[in-house]
Chain A
Amino acid sequence: MAGLQSAPSSPIQIFSKRNGSGIVTEPPKFDLESYIQNYKGRTRSNRLIHIGVFSAFLGVDALKLAVREAKAGKDIPRYIDAQTHLETIGPNEPEAVRDNAWIEQTERQNEAETQRLEAELKGYKSNLIKESIRMGNEDLGKHYEAIGDLPHAFEAFGRMRQDNTVEKHSVDVSKHLIEVAVEQKNWIAVTSNILKLKSVMNSGLEDLAPQPYIVASQALAQFDVGNYADAALTFLQCEAGMGQSCATIISPNDVAIYGGLCALATMDRNELQKKVLENSHFRSYLELEPQIRHAISFFINSRYTNCLRVLESYHADYLLDIYLQQHINDLYQMIRSKCIVQYFIPFSSCTLASLNEAFAAPGNAMDKELILMITRGELNARINTVDGLLEARKTNPRDEIQREALRVADEYEKEATTRIFHTQVTMAGLEVKPVKHRSGGFSSTPYTSFDADMSGSGLN
């Protein structure tokens, strides 16, 4: 990877430069207000804090907003988190001063509320009224979620399930659990709850759990564990009309970006055309993020340089996304490799100069990146350093098949002979055995008796 540092246009390079501090210094293309409007609930403040920490440009604004919103709620750790960050980058802001009075007061209120809810729940339990217990647990879970105690919230919501009476209840439970689990990045729990939701959906209660909600959270789970190919397919199933229904988890814009990038990184030209651009549901999402649609059409039309340029211009934005930050460089690298491979396919050989022109920054060579790709088996070619060419390997299928046939035959022969020999050794009772009752571990003197029956006495 070190070799790539000579080519600044490579995403890896940019990342490694920024990664020193993790701070993005370029001005983002989006507007904070309209961006954050897409989200509700805890993910909203999470995203604000994330932008606050990593953007040099929007940091102060984002954190101010985060502090204000946290104070409106009752989540003390969240407030302290936002406020501490603001204190470091914008100490002169009025919000940067820690409001200890608020903290104390909220802490007291929170504690009282927790005790009250616990006590109520106890009362319901002794009365054995199912619906009350369920609701008690729900209230408690919501409270825990609001004060930022996610593990307890998850537990409380989980306890709701045993008192479910109608199917709507199980949908509620699953949705609560998915929301908490997404924030904890507990993707296994997310996936299992999605499965439960899906089974409910089949029984005709679609309006309770809209399709986009299920699909988007499932895709997000696949995406965040790095399973880009599956994530792409799942995102693409997302039906139009998500609106604000998933605002606590993901926005329609995110669906377009995550899905589009995953598809670009893992699908071939035909698939991209058929499954992405001609997908009427997904088109409505792509309209929200036209640059992704541009990148995909550039790729399909073999204009790789433009495709990469478009993506590159949005790189800074994507680094400010809480999920994309971890994956964007992998995705970009995959897309870039794919572009290089696609670019080279029609040629039997092409000059390294033309490749440099298309993919590397001026004055830089991309030999090292090519070598890496060849050794990884992504590019079926060899480099001619002397004449400055990249030459495709000529394959001779007939020759290869014959070679392979000979190799397999040879292997079979070897194994068959060994096995025949083994049966002979076994029949003769000539296996090597450890010699017992003697110090020094194993000796080279093996058993030579004919049969185990006789050997027992024969050896000792």
Chain B
Amino acid sequence: MDDILPRLLAFPPHPSPALPLSDQQFDEGIRALVEVVKGISDSKLLQKTASGEHLLDFVNPSLNTASYTFILVANLNKAKQYEKAVDMDALWNNICTFLSGFDPRQIRYLGHELAQIIDTFANIAQRHHRIPLALPRIRDALIRYDPTGTVFTPKHLLLVKLAVEARSYDDVVPVLEKTILYIPGASEQPNPEFICNMTLSPLASITAHSSFVPKHTKSQDILEYFLLSGMAYIGLNNWRRAKECLERAITYPAKENGCSKIMTEAYKKWVLVSLLLDGKSPTLPMVTSGGTAKLYHTLAKPYEIVSQIFEAGTASRLKSEIETGQTIWQQDMNVGLMMAVLAAYQQFQIRNLGKVHSKLSIMDIHNATQSAEVGGKLGQAQFVRTLVQNMIANGSLDASLSYPPDKSPVVTFSENGPAMSEKMTQVALAESTHRIKALALQINNIDRTMTYEKEYLKHVQKVRKNKKNTDQGVVSVDMDWPGEDEDLMASMY
């Protein structure tokens, strides 16, 4: 046993040298170590130290991340074969410490193993009903692996799937709030000299080569991630973010008027969430593909009708419309959202009153608004008061309530919505500037790739060639495009 210990702890050098290792030294060192550790059999890695300690407790996961990873994998393999042979609780704790403590530099060489560990961990959590405990660990691991959070990986999907399954959303927000910009394997990244270079763009370090992600990402995985993120935010009642996430799904590029089921589902939820957020029918973002937009309107007709009635119809019509469509909402699993829409109807009316009135008595509000839940006026003015109180409490209404003696309570609507202090505005502006500057950098990068990208150039070349052919009167039937002959057929009928 003890003979493998020195080998396991050979890298990185401890205590760390006065001069930090150069990228080259680090690269050579860790590659050598991985080579060595891979050569050690699982059974050896499972042995205990001379002092009777478990290797997992002996090796420090933050320092000797590489060795620890292999030991962990060996343990997990064993547990897979015969669970009783391992102390599951101890193993669980080991994984937890590992996931929130690994060295982000070393782990870049161990993408495949990390993916394996997270999968197994999630599996164990599901079987032992411990998902809520596992979520923060997986979240930490993803953030440690890619602090910018701009690259989509299948583990993102796994995380949000688990969150939705366990209905525990708070813990995953730090991952969800990052904006996905890149898909691994989307563009040929120049092979980095040393992947331990910490200044590399996240996309370069998580390329398909690192084997943390599969060779080809699937588009339905990405779509599903957006849809589920939206649902997670719906669970948190964060309509603004929910709308943004769903919007990512519905604006997903589609060719030839295509539209996937996931996109339609996202669209349905998006319509409702927009109602809850703005109180009116949303307009599709500019970036939506035209043909897809038409499909949405056909496929989600009932939802659009609800949204139109919400905007311009009466409470009783909204109520009956939603009741009539009950089976549709059930099939689409949108009953909860519909309930929220019903409840929101009166709240929007009250908020709109604030645009015209500065002060109103509860009695007046009671007479001027209708509840879609009841399908008419609320039974008593008392209920309106409670509703207004709740709205003020949860911040959806910017107003105050006063109780003049012997009269109906009075609501004073504030003038311009929540006021931002000068300082808050400055901070917000500075943050926004910062983010946009960062974006500008990304855009420059994309620009560069577009200019030098092989695939893209090939495409441009092809387009030019085709054009030239047609110019010369040579009609080239491009069999590569399955869409074209389809169109010819369609025009014949």
Contacts and interface: CB of A to CB of B under 8 A. Distances in A.
Which among A383, A417, A424 has the greatest number of chain B C-beta atoms within 10 A?
A424
B360 A431 contact: no
B248 A418 contact: yes
Contact of A387 (B222, B252, B359): B359
Given A385-B359, A430-B183, A419 B479 contact: no
B393 interface: no
A444 to B, nearest CB: 4
Interface string A398-425: 0100110110011011111111111111
A421 B258 CA distance: 18
State the main secondary structure of chain B at its contact with A: mixed
A385 to B, nearest CB: 5
B460 interface: no
Q: Is the contact region of chain A dominated by helix, strand, or loop, or is it mixed? A: helix
B183 A434 contact: no
Interface in A301-324: none
Contacts of B218: 430, 446, 448
A374 to B, nearest CB: 5
B439 A413 contact: yes
A438 interface: no
Contacts, number: 179
A66 to B, nearest CB: 47
Interface string A73-96: 000000000000000000000000
Nearest to B259: A442
A446 B358 contact: no
B248 A386 contact: no
B186 to A, nearest CB: 4
Interface string B246-287: 011001111111111111000000000000000000000111
A456 B255 CA distance: 14
A450 B188 CA distance: 12
Interface in B220-240: 220, 222-223
Interface string A171-196: 00000000000000000000000000
Given A399-B425, A443-B260, 7 more contacts: A382-B355, A399-B419, A416-B443, A420-B442, A422-B287, A431-B253, A442-B260
A425 B252 contact: yes
Contacts of A415: 285-287
Number of chain B interface residues as a range: 35 or more
A387 B412 CA distance: 11
B432 A406 contact: yes
B359 A448 contact: no
B428 interface: yes
A453 B481 CA distance: 8
A386 B180 CA distance: 51
Given A402-B429, A427-B453, A453-B480, A433 B254 contact: yes
Contact of A424 (B182, B433, B455): B182
A459 interface: yes
A374 B253 contact: no
Contacts of B432: 406, 409-410, 413
B146 interface: no
Given A406-B428, A447-B255, A459 B355 contact: no
A417 B219 contact: no
23 contacts: A382-B415, A384-B359, A385-B359, A386-B360, A403-B420, A409-B433, A415-B285, A416-B436, A423-B450, A425-B186, A428-B187, A430-B217, A430-B222, A431-B255, A432-B219, A433-B256, A436-B482, A442-B258, A442-B259, A446-B218, A450-B216, A453-B480, A456-B480
Interface in A344-399: 371, 374-375, 382-387, 389, 391, 393-394, 396, 399
B244 interface: yes
Given A444-B220, A453-B480, A386 B182 contact: no
